[in-house]
Structure 1
Amino acid sequence: MEYRPEADISGGNVRYGGGGGGGGRGGRIAVGGGLGGLIVLLIALFFGGNIGDVLGGQAEPQTQDTTVGSNNPNCKTGADVERDRDCRWTAYMAALNNYWSSAFTEGFRPPASMQLFSGQIATACGTGSSEMGPFYCPGDETIFVDDSFVGQLLQQLGTEQSDPAELYIVGHEYGHHISNLTGQMSAARQAGNDTGPKSAAVRLELQADCYAGVFFANTIKDPNSPIKAITQDDLDRIVVAARAVGDDHIQKQSTGRVVPESWTHGSSQMRQYWVAKGFQSGNPNTCDTFATDDLGG
């Protein structure tokens, strides 16, 4: 994936240095070898989207500021990504903000921030931890990512860390923010804790995948985007990442059997289908996963 050196990324609203407890970066549960019962649960929450469903948080915005850390002053242009790799997160958010602000005619607001953290962190939805994987909390409209733990999760799920895979992760979580703005997240939550291939939970996750695909299709057409080009290899990495986080892939990897009735995120095929659908159309209106019975399964 190629960055545009002159692109302004200062509006990327990323906060660095959050979290603590649980031993910080050196004290989390090790991920490697066989998948224990706890790790199976934690990986099943990967791309969990709305942590409020897991921790019992509220969907309404809260007044408490639960984010910590500060912006990286070194991240001003796309060229800074090469000088300081941490700036790639700022570039991701700048690109996402650029596209989604143009996709709305009214009512848009960007996420409060993307909070990079380690160990544990307080959120408006409860205490988040690294092992939950990246997540979005609607209570404080913040995307939370442990930037050092993401690579371990991707490797455990059978793929590798790369900028395209990371951007897919962030694009997916940003997609949950879009669903929150449109009210579809709230509507899905009202369906309760139903599971299965056509459940509201799965539809919400597939919608976020579709929104991620839409973003990729449009950001490479934007002359002001920090993302200058995406190659076929980049697209392949995105597809592999989508496959890795399919419920069936995770279940087969962890238990050796697939139980569709328990799905909360969708199969690998479904997730790949909706990422591709969003990318091919470039139109967020094609992402209404709640209005169709054809979910690509």
Structure 2
Amino acid sequence: MTFNEGMQIDTSTTSSSGGRGGGGRGIAVGGGIGGLLLVVVALFLGVDPSSVLPQDQVPGMDTQGVDASGFDLSQCKTGADANAIVQCRVVATGNSVDAVWAQQLQGYQRPQVRLFTGSVNTGCGPADSAVGPFYCPSDRTAYFDTDFFDVLVDQFGSSGGPLAQEYVVAHEFGHHVQNLLGVLGRAQQDPQGPTGGGVRTELQADCYAGVWAHYASITKQESTGEPFLEPLSDKDIADALSAASSVGDDRIQKQATGRVNPEAWTHGSSAQRQQWFTQGYRTGDPNQCDTFAPGAL
């Protein structure tokens, strides 16, 4: 999906860092891969994640360090920059998602966005690049290390088109919507299993990403009066579906262990992730994203 070159990128809710730091405690909600890689592996192997990953310690982190300067956000000015620079694409996608949800959800409040490389200090504790993109409800911030998009292609087999990346951003913003609605905590009440709260929460965020895609090319930026993005092509949708499929629990489990164990799922299968993104995209109706309804899964 291509941004209209004349759109103006708003970086006011975005920050960037490239260093290390300690942080608070909380529960981060995963997006692309779905949380800390060690936690994912532990769940696959039937191990209690808390036994291998204390909340205040992530391997490879210098928790006494300080944040260093990161990406220069002054490079992100227009849609042309979003089309050319991946970090600007993340910020511009966030602008677009904000505009869509401002129309869909009364009282919508924008999340913060943090671009980082290496490691980052968050309200949910320290994290490093192995986390993949994630949302921390404690500080209402979506975190992105854009190197993940290369991992998505090279390690998980996703296509590398822009909408594959934008889907990831919209998914994390979907968790922010859940936080505003007060349903995000349901992910922890029954975190595992093919019909557990974790899977239902992640699939709803996929559906919310689809809702954004439904409106993305027709939602206009107030300051310029033109749509954020050009109309979606069939290839754009194929890219988003490819990304959704590549991070399905069954596919990741098969790659990591050679077997599939639905009882350890936290995000849903590849087919489910595609299904719920499509549901949101087809209907454009957040009310059709109730993955918690009886019989939804």
RMSD, aligned CA: 2.7
Once residues 56 and 198 of structure 1 are traced to their aligned partners in structure 2, the CA distance between those partners, rounded to angstroms, is 26
**DSSP-derived class of the 2:194 partner:** coil
CA offsets per residue over residues 214-265 of structure 1, 9 Å max, x none? 0000111224332122210110011111111110111111211111111010
Q: Is 1:155 the counterpart of 2:160 in the alignment? A: no
Mean CA deviation greater in 84-93 or 118-127: 84-93
Q: Is 1:182 the counterpart of 2:181 in the alignment? A: yes
2:295 match: 293
Once residues 142 and 281 of structure 1 are traced to their aligned partners in structure 2, the CA distance between those partners, rounded to angstroms, is 27
Verify the 8 A CA contact 2:193 2:264 in the aligned structure 1. Answer: yes
**DSSP-derived class of the 1:110 partner:** coil
Q: Is 1:136 the counterpart of 2:135 in the alignment? A: yes
1:266 match: 268
**DSSP-derived class of the 1:165 partner:** helix
Task: Choose from 176, 198, 203 the match for 1:201.
Answer: 198
1:282 match: 284
Q: Runs ≥4 in structure 1, deviation > 4 angstroms?
A: 37-40, 54-57, 66-71, 82-85
2:47 match: none
CA spacing shift, 1:70–1:2, aligned 2, 3 Å: closer
1:233 match: 235
**DSSP-derived class of the 2:184 partner:** helix
Once residues 2 and 139 of structure 1 are traced to their aligned partners in structure 2, the CA distance between those partners, rounded to angstroms, is 32
**DSSP-derived class of the 2:19 partner:** strand
Verify the 8 A CA contact 2:117 2:145 in the aligned structure 1. Answer: yes
The unaligned stretches of length 5 or more in structure 2 are: 22-36, 45-52, 57-66, 222-226
CA spacing shift, 1:229–1:156, aligned 2, 3 Å: same
Q: Report the CA distance between 1:42 and its aligned residue.
A: 9.1
CA offsets per residue over residues 121-161 of structure 1, 9 Å max, x none? 11111111101111111111111111123312432011233
CA offsets per residue over residues 32-86 of structure 1, 9 Å max, x none? xxxxx96973998xxxxxxxxx8759xxxxxxxx998587123232133346553
Verify the 8 A CA contact 1:12 1:97 in the aligned structure 2. Answer: no
Q: Report the CA distance between 1:11 and its aligned residue.
A: 5.1
Once residues 293 and 172 of structure 1 are traced to their aligned partners in structure 2, the CA distance between those partners, rounded to angstroms, is 23
Q: Report the CA distance between 1:197 and its aligned residue.
A: 0.8
CA offsets per residue over residues 256-287 of structure 1, 9 Å max, x none? 11111110100111111100000001011111
The unaligned stretches of length 5 or more in structure 1 are: 22-36, 45-53, 58-65
2:248 match: 246
Verify the 8 A CA contact 2:11 2:76 in the aligned structure 1. Answer: no
Q: Report the CA distance between 1:14 and its aligned residue.
A: 2.5
Verify the 8 A CA contact 1:18 1:121 in the aligned structure 2. Answer: yes
Verify the 8 A CA contact 1:212 1:275 in the aligned structure 2. Answer: yes
CA offsets per residue over residues 152-200 of structure 1, 9 Å max, x none? 24320112333111101111111000001100012333x15x4111000
**DSSP-derived class of the 2:259 partner:** coil
**DSSP-derived class of the 1:201 partner:** helix
Once residues 249 and 240 of structure 1 are traced to their aligned partners in structure 2, the CA distance between those partners, rounded to angstroms, is 12
1:88 match: 89
Mean CA deviation greater in 3-12 or 164-173: 3-12
1:48 match: none
With the length of structure 2 as denominator, give the TM-score of the two structures. Answer: 0.79
Once residues 284 and 267 of structure 1 are traced to their aligned partners in structure 2, the CA distance between those partners, rounded to angstroms, is 21
With the length of structure 1 as denominator, give the TM-score of the two structures. Answer: 0.79
- Once the two structures are aligned, what percentage of the paired residues are identical? 39
**DSSP-derived class of the 1:86 partner:** helix
Q: Within 5 Å, which residues of 2 pair with 1:158-169? A: 158-169=157-168
Once residues 205 and 69 of structure 2 are traced to their aligned partners in structure 1, the CA distance between those partners, rounded to angstroms, is 26
CA spacing shift, 1:195–1:212, aligned 2, 3 Å: same
- What is the one-letter code of the residue matched to 1:176? H
Verify the 8 A CA contact 1:43 1:131 in the aligned structure 2. Answer: no
